[in-house]
Amino acid sequence: MPLSPEEIRSLQAKARQLRCDMVDVTVWAGGAHIGGALSMTDVLTALYYHYLNVKPAEPGWPERDRFVLSKGHGGVGLAAVLADKGYYSKDLLKEFNHFKSPFGMHLDGNKVPGVDASTGSLGHGLSMSVGMALGARFQKQSWRTYCLLGDGECNEGSVWEAAMAAHHYKIDTLTAFTDRNHMMIDGRTEDIMSLEPLAEKWRAFGWEVREIDGHDYAQIGAAIEGAQATKGAPTMIICNTVKGKGVGFMEDQVKWHYGSIDSELAAKAKASITGGAS
């Protein structure tokens, strides 16, 4: 069922709060991959607050939907979402990056409840997702697997090996997202290693492909529901996004791939996110 206007408004409010949380964690951590966390926030919000079938009180629930953050450097974003969902206390995030904290820039699935795979080295997540989805099929389970990739990450050959396998095994319970913010560390994706025509590449690999505005909840919702209804093929949802989305001075800036912020800048960032609203 498409998201209602009311649901969309509430997801948008949630995303504003989560983006502010991510800013807080960036301050506590002494620096984080904030740009790419902000660009994927709306997809994460739609998943965790509407579509994912999970039980935060029981992170290991066998029938839960799986979510793999293949662009593992977005850990600061996922960590904030999982705290808000109640997997653990937000207070724990004050120790982010500190000695022996369970939380480092790239989340360790053995230490952080709710993290289905330890990622951080790019190009691993989609293969693990294919394996999870095959595991579900083999065990006649109906849960779904979701995987979120960076666009720069799609330079990795292993992504395409997984793409081939997902098509070969006709894994229609697998839905992947590409956070198409057009940026990587050293610059814009098309300048460093061009990806276009990206949608056609995925189609040529046998995937059902949807291209959407990754900050528009009606489109995110429709794409996920379309993927859930698709039979016989995996779906790739290419989410056109803005790196640093929500924080005016970070938007579309290469230098905010990874950055640190003090409390003064954090206040500015939050003002930009909430724009007076909350």
Partner 1 sequence: MTEVTGTTWNVYDANTLTQAEIYGRVLCDLAEADARIVALTADLARSTKIGVFQDKFPQRVFNVGIAEQNLFGIAAGMAKSGLLPFVSTMSAFASMRALEQVRTDICYQNLDVKIIATHGGVSFGQAGTTHHCTEDIAIQRSLANMCVIVPADGWETANAVRAAVLRPGPVYIRLGRGFEPTHFENDDYGFEIGKAVTINEGTDITVIACGVAVYHAAEAAKLLRDQDGISVRVLDVHTIKPIDEEAIMAAVIDTRRILVVEEHNVIGGLGSAVADVIAASGKGCAFAKSGLPDCYSEVGYPEDLYSHYCIDGDGIVGQVRELLHREFEADEDWQDEH
Ligand X SMILES: Cc1ncc(C[n+]2csc(CCOP(=O)(O)OP(=O)(O)O)c2C)c(N)n1
The footprint of partner 1 (CB under 8 A) covers 29-31, 72, 97-108, 118-123, 152-153, 155-157, 184-186, 192-193
Give the one entry of partner 1, ligand X, none that residue 224 binds, where binding means its C-beta sits below a cut-off of 5 to 8 angstroms depending on kind: none
Give the one entry of partner 1, ligand X, none that residue 98 binds, where binding means its C-beta sits below a cut-off of 5 to 8 angstroms depending on kind: partner 1
Chain centroid to Cα 58, Å, comes to: 21
How wide is the angle at C-alpha 149 spanned by C-alphas 185 and 1, nearest 5°? 140
CB 41, min distance to ligand X, A: 11
Strands annotated E in 89-188:
145-150, 174-180
Which of 183, 198, 220, 242: binder of ligand X (CB under 6 A)?
183
Which of 63, 135, 142, 185: binder of ligand X (CB under 6 A)?
185
CB 180, min distance to partner 1, A: 15
Q: What is the DSSP string of 251-262?
A: TT-GGGSSB---
First to last CA, the chain: 27
Q: What is the Cα–Cα distance from 209 to 237, expressed in whole angstroms?
A: 6
Using DSSP's 3-state secondary structure scheme, residue 244 falls into coil
Q: What is the Cα–Cα distance from 140 to 19, expressed in whole angstroms?
A: 37
Which of 64, 66, 73, 270: binder of ligand X (CB under 6 A)?
73
Stretch that binds ligand X, among 22-30, 109-117, 178-186, 216-224 (CB under 6 A): 178-186
Task: Name the phi and psi angles at 179, rounded to 5.
Answer: -80, 90
Q: Is 150 in the site for ligand X (CB under 6 A)?
A: yes
Give the one entry of ligand X, partner 1, none that residue 30 binds, where binding means its C-beta sits below a cut-off of 5 to 8 angstroms depending on kind: partner 1
Q: Is 215 in the site for ligand X (CB under 6 A)?
A: no
* Interface pattern 22-51 for ligand X (x via CB under 6 A): -----------x--x--x------------
Q: Which of 222, 135, 149 is nearest to 179 (CA)?
A: 149
116, amino acid identity: D
- Note the residues at the interface with ligand X (CB under 6 A): 33, 36, 39, 71, 73, 120-123, 150-153, 179, 181, 183-185, 243, 257
